[in-house]
Chains A and B, each alone.
Chain A
Amino acid sequence: DSGVTQTPKHLITATGQRVTLRCSPRSGDLSVYWYQQSLDQGLQFLIQYYNGEERAKGNILERFSAQQFPDLHSELNLSSLELGDSALYFCASSVLAGVDTQYFGPGTRLTVL
């Protein structure tokens, strides 16, 4: 158990809908990362927050957004969902904003029908 929690574990929804994925980092970690794992694109970095502020952006679609709250938990919002958004979404956390080992949560499996 990495200490990073993600909810829900599984999510099934329809095209065009909006969902919110939640992540609680390890105690003491200030940095949160979101990754998407899909069959065709592999593991891809989406976005990073550090202590409430956006720090880096990767291949995140405009339909996706994220935020980190004062208690350091983070949410990833996915809207206007398409079939291709079906994937495993991971949250990872680390203590620092600089290079530091990232510990991954168990992931949220999103299925868009």
Chain B
Amino acid sequence: AQTVTQSQPEMSVQEAETVTLSCTYDTSENNYYLFWYKQPPSRQMILVIRQEAYKQQNATENRFSVNFQKAAKSFSLKISDSQLGDTAMYFCAFSSFFGNEKLTFGTGTRLTIIP
């Protein structure tokens, strides 16, 4: 079974700074997908970014980028020029490429952007 670990329960950073959230996972599969979801105080789950394991290039979405290290099974999220609206819980998630497509989530990192 796959597991996802987020070792930073809470983080805080000043507005406009850069912050990196860590995620490691364990799987015996070679093909899979990784995601970062954001859950603001409204509780809505919002997709931030997605990475296909077969792609060597790291995914980027505006101020959000990932550092995907397949051999190390590491998938960190970098937020550049952080904004107050980035304050949220961030969840790392894993999905198998074949078979059960459920998302397996980490325990989350609570990120606070300080004005």
Contacts and interface: CB of A to CB of B under 8 A. Distances in A.
Contacts of A33: 102-103
A42 B9 CA distance: 13
B101 A107 contact: no
B45 A104 contact: yes
Nearest to B100: A56
B91 interface: yes
A57 to B, nearest CB: 9
Interface string A23-58: 000000001010100000011110010000000101
Interface string A72-113: 000000000000000010101010011111111011010000
Given A90-B45, A101-B50, A45 B97 contact: no
A94 B95 CA distance: 13
B102 A56 contact: yes
Contacts of A90: 45
Interface in B40-60: 42-47, 50
Contacts of B102: 33, 45, 48, 56, 58
Tier of interface size on chain B? 20 to 34
Contact of B101 (A35, A42, A48): A48
Report the interface size class on chain A: 20 to 34
Given A42-B108, A107-B43, A107-B44, A101 B35 contact: yes
Contacts of B91: 43
B105 interface: yes
Nearest to A102: B103
A94 B32 CA distance: 16
Given A42-B107, A42-B108, A43-B91, A97 B43 contact: no
Contact of A101 (B43, B47, B100): B47
A97 B105 contact: no
Interface string B81-115: 00000000001000111101111110110000000
Interface of A: 2, 31, 33, 35, 42-45, 48, 56, 58, 88, 90, 92, 94, 97-104, 106-107, 109
